[in-house]
A = this chain, B = another copy of it.
Amino acid sequence: MKRICLKVSYDGTNYHGWQRQDNTSDTIEEVLNKALSETLGEPIEVIGASRTDAGVHALGNIAVFDTNARIPGEKVSFAVNKHLPEDIVVVESMEVEQSFHPRKCDSIKTYDYRISTGRFVNPTKRLYTYHSHNSFDIERMRAGAGYLIGTHDFKSFCQTGAQVKDTVRTIYTLEVFADGDEIIIRVSGNGFLYNMVRIIAGTLMDIGMGRREPEDVKEMLAALDRNAAGPTAPACGLTLVSYEFL
């Protein structure tokens, strides 16, 4: 028995998110389980690092599973990709320690939130950006972002109803920059609460268009109340870029 770790990229457009659900088979987790089971000839169940929401994309989500198959860890990616649809790709695979659990290891997670600000949406980018007709002041967004960097109780930036006790997280970096007519919010941290990145994006957009002030973020954090922060930005703009295990 050995444990294999996969790095998984996907276009989340056509899926109901990562996590297996009773009422649909269109989840990344279930499609991956089925493809791995077909590839290895035994029932496989993966453990995912990040349970991304419906419509969210990933360049490097992480999943592990155990197998008795004799295939070398690094060959799994090539083999399983033959059984996967073209919008899910295993970009790397390797054998890891039996004790490795992607949600129980310290890691740095990086997400990008992309806002398209052209006069009209670019149809070839519509699935991977959130298009807004508003104009944004990037300097204001950066000033607001500055208050979020560091270790804070992010309860105000967590979707209500999420079953989590400890809402303290650390954001290592939070950058806002332009890329052509897109604005990218890039955030790295030790972990993110349910919808946290999308609420950060929605809040920074509010600040960028003048609805809120950058320094309001201090009060938002202090309130420990979801209603204090800005709206949850749409899923399509969000991409899980990478996991780095420490």
Q: Which residues of chain A from 95 to 138 have a CB within 8 Å of any chain B CB?
A: 118-124, 126-128
Cβ A11 vs Cβ B77 within 8 A: no
A126–B89 alpha-carbon span in the complex (Å): 11
Asked if A175 is an interface residue, CB under 8 A from chain B, the answer is: no
| Interface residues on chain A, number (Cβ under 8 Å) | 24
Answer whether residue A244 sits at the interface, using C-beta atoms and an 8 A cutoff: no
Smallest beta-carbon distance A88→chain B, Å: 6
A52 at the interface (CB under 8 A from B): no
A87 touches B120 (CB 8 A): no
Contacts of A128 in B (CB 8 A): 124
Binding site for B on A (CB under 8 A): 9-11, 57, 59, 77, 81, 86-91, 118-124, 126-128, 239
Please state the number of chain copies in the assembly: 2
- Docked-complex contact B120 and A89, CB < 8 angstroms: yes
Q: How far is the CA of A128 from the CA of B214 in the complex (A)?
A: 37
Give complex CA distance A89, B116 in Å: 14
Residues on the B chain within 8 Å of A119, using CB: 91
Q: Which B residue sits closest to A128, measured CB to CB?
A: B124
Whether B87 contacts A123 by the Cβ 8 Å rule is: yes
Query: What residues on B are CB-neighbors of A57 within 8 Å?
Result: 123-124
Nearest B residue to A59 via CB reads B122
* CB neighbours of A86 from chain B (8 A): 121, 123, 126
Please name the residue on chain B nearest to A90 by beta carbon: B120
CB A14 to nearest CB in B, in angstroms, measures 10
* Alpha-carbon gap, A89 to B121, bound state (A): 7
A87 partner residues in chain B, CB cutoff 8 A: 123, 126
Residues of B within 8 A of A89 (CB): 120-123
Q: Report how far A118 CA is from B89 CA in the complex, Å.
A: 12
